[in-house]
Amino acid sequence: MDFLKRAFELKEEAVEIRRHLHQCPEIGFDLPLTTQYIKEKLTEYGCTYKEICQCGIIADIGDPTGKVILIRADIDALPSRELSGEPFAAVNGNSHSCGHDIHCTSLLICAKMLKEVESELKGCVRLCFQPDEESIHGAIEMIEKGVLEDPHVDAAISMHTKAQFPTGKYNVGKGNYLCSSDIFRVEIEGVAAHGSAPETGVDPINIASKVIDAVQTIQTREINTLDPNVITFGSIHGGTAPNVIPDKVVMEGTIRCFTASSRPVIKKRFVELIEQLCSLYKAKANVEFTSQTPITYNDEKLCDDICRYLREMVGEDGVSTLTSGVKGSDDFAYFSEKVPAVMYHVGMGTAEDGYIYTLHNPHVRFDEDALPYSCAAFAEITSRWVNENS
């Protein structure tokens, strides 16, 4: 089958699915509307599915006695409101500003196309609809519940939307492809006081400002500047009144590293600096890492195969091979630790075309003309791989 041609024939259906999912964004493992819709579509397409963990769904297409390749699509959203201005924008306070609605849509349309050629598959394609990627727990849960077994999975792929990148163009990079991510929670315990008498207390807000500034020196003075890493504070809460010094401030954020060697160094120094700085200012610090994911490693042989498949489908210019600088992270990394795996990106429109915002921005928009490319890639890669390797 010419999957790209077929995907363009199914574009209207893909847009309908995407907009439906886009309007009901749900977070974490609590995805009842999303998973109910996935189940209905899989049933419509003739797929038998199993829910192996809360809101984690798998379905197999093809011959399980041959080689097995898994396609992972994350299906959760972000707990932030949408301001895109799209007529189908979500209004429930959550948003698909990371594009997981497109990932899910691509896998559903892929399922429909693969079912149409199932008798020609010499191996098995496992569809994996994964919850809770944003909090970096979903992949671990699905792996623990057996997503890579019965039958044993031999390889895995996943895709991600890429903002500010040409519509429908693919990027496939070898080796370390996405950064590790360590989500932290820092609690600074001070002593409450009246705002007019700070000398009677220990001001955790003042100390928090010094912490935020101090930890950035880890990147600039303790790690090779050619080694990409980022420490970001995304949340800070402390105090309830303008004339009261609170007794506590809580900060949350992420540490992202592109090399495995720098990750433990940064984490160790992060904790040391905060604890010692807080002690210097007579406060107490509690630092914990609430979730962690390693670097996403793209298998070199599987990358070569995927580039070959995609270039034969869309031409040489339709595929780029940039690796460095992809500082996002994804719990697909846990799949890449278990089996040969590749995550690649699909362009969702450039700033010149009017798509000016990045992922996780409440204003971000995605070019739906990219949908046939994201759908076709899933089907082309997996069908070619099982038929060549089984």
* pLDDT for the residue 324: 58
SS3 content of the chain, % helix, strand, coil (to 5): 40, 25, 35
Q: pTM for this structure?
A: 0.92
The amino acid at residue 53 is C
User: What is the chain's alpha carbon radius of gyration, rounded to the nearest angstrom?
Assistant: 23
pLDDT in tens, the chain (390 residues): 999 999 999 999 999 999 999 999 999 999 999 999 999 999 999 999 999 999 999 999 999 999 999 999 999 999 999 999 999 999 999 999 999 999 999 999 999 999 999 999 999 999 999 999 999 899 999 999 999 999 999 999 999 999 999 999 999 999 999 999 999 999 999 999 999 999 999 999 999 999 999 999 999 999 998 888 999 999 999 999 999 999 999 999 999 999 999 999 999 999 999 999 999 999 999 999 999 999 999 999 999 999 999 999 999 999 999 865 577 899 999 999 999 999 999 999 999 999 999 999 999 999 999 999 999 999 999 999 999 999
The residue extents of the domains of the chain are 3-178+295-389, 180-293
Q: Enumerate helices (H) and strands (E) in the chain, giving the number of each.
A: 10, 16
**Token pair listed for 178:** 């996405």
* pLDDT for the residue 328: 86
**Token pair listed for 327:** 């500082």
In DSSP notation, 204-244 reads HHHHHHHHHHHHHHIIIIIS-TTS-EEEEEEEEE--SSTTE
Q: Measure CA 384 to chain center.
A: 25
Asked if 66 contacts 59 with a C-beta cutoff of 8 angstroms, the reply is no
| φ and ψ of 123, to 5 deg | -135, -160
Q: Tokens 């992270």 correspond to what residue?
A: 329
Residue 43: count of CB within 10 angstroms of its CB? 12
Burial 284-297 (b: 16+ CB within 10 A, else e): ebebeeebbbbbbb
| φ and ψ of 267, to 5 deg | -65, -40
CA–CA distance, 97 with 365 (Å, rounded to integer): 8
| CATH fold of 180-293 | Alpha-Beta Plaits (3.30.70)
| Beta carbons within 8 Å of 232's beta carbon, 6+ residues apart | 253, 254, 255, 256
Asked if 216 contacts 208 with a C-beta cutoff of 8 angstroms, the reply is no
How many residues are present in the chain?
A: 390
* pLDDT for the residue 228: 86
CA–CA distance, 205 with 192 (Å, rounded to integer): 11
Alpha helices by DSSP H, listed for the chain, are 3-9, 11-22, 32-44, 100-116, 138-144, 204-217, 262-280, 300-314, 333-338, 371-389
Instruction: Report the candidate in 325, 349, 379 with the shortest Cα–Cα distance to residue 162.
Output: 349
Q: The CATH number of 3-178+295-389 is which of 3.40.640.10, 3.40.190.10, 3.90.1150.10, 3.40.630.10? A: 3.40.630.10
Instruction: Report the candidate in 220, 241, 242, 239 with the shortest Cα–Cα distance to residue 229.
Output: 220
CA–CA distance, 262 with 202 (Å, rounded to integer): 34
CA–CA distance, 385 with 390 (Å, rounded to integer): 8
| Beta carbons within 8 Å of 169's beta carbon, 6+ residues apart | 318, 319, 320, 346, 347, 373
Q: What is the largest CA-CA distance in the chain?
A: 78
